[in-house]
Amino acid sequence: MTHAIVLIQAEGSALATLGGELAGIDGVAEAYSVTGEWDFVAILRLREQEMLAQVVTGKLSQLAGVRRTQTMVAFEAYSRHDLEALFSVGQ
């Protein structure tokens, strides 16, 4: 599985609707509106790495109102849930 974080800068006119559109794309597990230089963050979880280009360049960046994106591919995925499960083995 491939995990990626996509930072998205949007046109002002798209701020009200873009979050829902991002969340509706297959492969986007979560979408957040955020403060700062970027307007949205999309968390991608994809079965195969080859799907990354299809989702980011083929769908996400083609949405109306998307100005630019920056994609970061995760090497490892960690979560509190995973760590708690690991340490509770045998208890």
Question: What is the pLDDT, as a whole number, of residue 76?
Answer: 87
pLDDT band at 79 (very low <50, low <70, confident <90, very high): confident
The topology under which CATH files domain 2-87 is Alpha-Beta Plaits (3.30.70)
Show me where the domains of the chain are located: 2-87
Average pLDDT over residues 78-91: 62
- In sequence order, the 6+-apart residues with CB closer than 8 A to the CB of 45 are 1, 2, 3, 27, 29
- The average pLDDT across 49-72 equals 96
Tell me the pLDDT band of 30, cut-offs 50, 70 and 90.
very high
